[in-house]
A and B are shown apart, each in its own frame.
Chain A
Amino acid sequence: MREQPVIIEIQNLTKRFGGLCAVYDFSGCLYKNQIVGIIGPNGAGKTTILNIISGIYPPTSGKVIYKGIDITGLEPHKINHIGIARTFQNIRLFEDLTVLETVMVGYSWRTTYNVLEALLSLPRVRSYEKESEEKSMHWLEMVGLQDQANVNAQSLPYGLQRRVEIARALASEPCVLLLDEPGAGLNQTEVHDLVNLIQKIYEDLSLSILIIDHRMDVIMRLCKWIYVQDFGKNIAQGTPEQIQQDPVVIKAYLGEEISNACN
């Protein structure tokens, strides 16, 4: 695993919101074609790390290096253009767009026609639209939503909405996929299907995936390497087996008294 080149390297990332230190001195690596997880209880600063990588806000200090280039503080759309796509914990779909149209939004910035050609309805516009429609259909098939293509995205059940988000992220044709708590709000069966889907996407597209969750089952099944965060600090990292036996992690998850009682 370690022989693969580094795709994303995070160096000493710190983020303060006023007096609150959401992330403190986090360093970590995502290797090519690897699934890495970040776990930790609520408020551990997991989502903050993802938001910084995807450019939603800049870090207080520290760097994000992508394929050897410093991308710290780039705007979100530029982060997307260079090949990093993400999903959101609280699903962010678009009202009034169908499932297919939502996924097609991922292709908007790649369009080869300009606004004048669009206004004049030149034939090039139609042919390009058709092409991105076909490509988007392909992603919908991959997440199993081809039959719901023309349904309003927000009318779908929660579990399927999450799949729309994943398809939209894939439509950016990324190298790196950042998944922010994909299991949140799903029941046990849905989580199981989702983990299988992520596994399939990972194998078919040979992506690098950074996944955040506080559900151990999701992380343990998918990840080869895990970072454990607690109150903004990195308290452990290692393979799933190492993490499961780490006393510091058990303490953070179960609380001090209980782990003392166990001893």
Chain B
Amino acid sequence: MDFYLTVALAIAVNTIAVLGTFILTGMNGMFSLGQGAFMGLGAYISAICVVNYHLPFALAILISIVISAGLAVLVGSATLRIRQDFFALATFGFGQAVIGLLTETVNVTGGAMGFSNIPHLTTPALAFISLAVAIALIWGFRRSHFRRDSLAIRSNELAAKVAGINVFKHKMTVYIISAAFAAYAGALMAFHTRYVEPAMYGWMTSVTWIIIVFFGGRDSLTGTVLGSFILLALPEILRFTSAWRILLYCIVILLIINLRPRGLFGNWELSLKSIFKFPKREKSVEAK
């Protein structure tokens, strides 16, 4: 397959997982360091279903999402009531435990050697349509009361509770959605790279997604998607700088966080309305 298309497909699939982190960490301020593990579960479960049990691709994906979401319910019931900083630590522990599990169950997963011979079933069309659907779903989420509840809880949890929001239920809903998104992305990725190994899904992956969300703008869906495209493409664009690549990558992120603390796009959203309104808003600023 064409190199650029391969890269674009990987970026599109990873962006789906980033969208899960966007609603969890960006909108709700919950730092989960175990999101990568859900991607790993999605990848491994779907791959094992197809390779070892010869299940159809679609069913395998569905099973991997359902199991990951179910696990999110379990992990969530144990961690969502505790304070935000402990939530980050607990999810970190969960994530590393999953990596440990995938590494140790050698006869099923292949252990640290990885799991290979996965058929190539993720077509570019499937990846891009999936991303479009994922964006549409999050867009719908943001146009409902869930956006207000998220921002309210992020800003002042006590006031949100007193205003009648069942905070635990809300956080659980968001956690399940984000886990399902990560699992789906993992499944698509596994059938694209055709090979998976536990090390791909550690806490670094989760942190990368969080960085992308804050880079693009935690209050902007547009920002998150474009930020994801930029930051995931950057390592490829900077390939010519070889060893300096990591350094340049860090410099770009630090510049953005310092110069635009609310992210590259702040709370700006791409929409037909905002394009028409844009000149008007500038005028009113001038008037002041």
Name A residues whose Cβ lies closer than 8 Å to a Cβ of B: 54, 56, 75-77, 79-81, 85-86, 88, 92-97, 101-102, 104-111, 113, 115, 118-121, 125-126, 129, 132, 168-169, 171-172
**B132-153 contact mask (Cβ, 8 Å, vs A): 1 or 0:** 0000111111011110110110
Please choose the segment from B88-96, B104-112, B155-163 that sits at the chain A interface, where 4 or more of its residues have CB less than 8 A away: B155-163
| Known A-B contacts A77-B166, A94-B159; A105 and B149 likewise in contact (beta carbons under 8 Å) | yes
| Known A-B contacts A96-B155, A96-B219, A121-B136; A105 and B144 likewise in contact (beta carbons under 8 Å) | no
Q: Is the CB of B144 within 8 A of A97?
A: no
A95 to B137, CA, bound (A): 24
Q: In terms of DSSP, what is the predominant structure of the interface of chain B?
A: helix
Q: Is the CB of B148 within 8 A of A104?
A: yes
Most A Cβ at <10 Å: residue of B149, B152, B163, B167: B163
Q: Is the CB of A111 within 8 A of B145?
A: yes
| Known A-B contacts A56-B158, A121-B139; A106 and B163 likewise in contact (beta carbons under 8 Å) | yes
Q: Is the CB of B148 within 8 A of A97?
A: yes
A217 to B267, CA, bound (A): 44
Nearest-neighbour CB distance to chain A for B258, whole angstroms, equals 21
Query: Is the C-beta of B279 less than 8 angstroms from some C-beta in chain A?
Result: no
A-B contact pairs, 26 of them (CB 8 A): A76-B161, A77-B161, A77-B166, A80-B162, A85-B162, A88-B159, A93-B156, A93-B159, A94-B156, A96-B151, A96-B155, A96-B219, A97-B148, A101-B148, A102-B152, A105-B145, A108-B163, A108-B165, A109-B165, A109-B166, A115-B141, A118-B143, A119-B140, A121-B140, A129-B144, A172-B164
Q: Is the CB of B140 within 8 A of A96?
A: no
Query: Which of B141, B160, B165 contacts A118 (CB under 8 A)?
Result: B141
A104 to B144, CA, bound (A): 11
A125 to B145, CA, bound (A): 9
Interface size of B by Cβ–Cβ distance < 8 Å? Answer: 31
Most A Cβ at <10 Å: residue of B140, B158, B164: B164
Nearest-neighbour CB distance to chain A for B261, whole angstroms, equals 14
Q: Is the CB of B165 within 8 A of A54?
A: no
Name which residue of chain B comes closest to A118, CB basis: B144
Q: Is the CB of A80 within 8 A of B164?
A: yes
Query: Which of B144, B146, B163, B267 contacts A80 (CB under 8 A)?
Result: B163
Q: Which of B148-195 contact A (CB under 8 A)?
A: 148-149, 151-152, 154-156, 158-167, 173, 177
A77 to B146, CA, bound (A): 16
20 A-B pairs besides A86-B162, A111-B144, A119-B177 with CB distance below 8 A are A77-B164, A77-B165, A77-B166, A77-B167, A80-B161, A88-B162, A92-B159, A94-B159, A94-B160, A95-B151, A97-B155, A105-B149, A106-B163, A108-B145, A111-B145, A115-B146, A118-B141, A119-B140, A120-B140, A125-B143
Taking CB atoms, residues of chain B closer than 8 Å to A108 are: 145, 148-149, 163-165
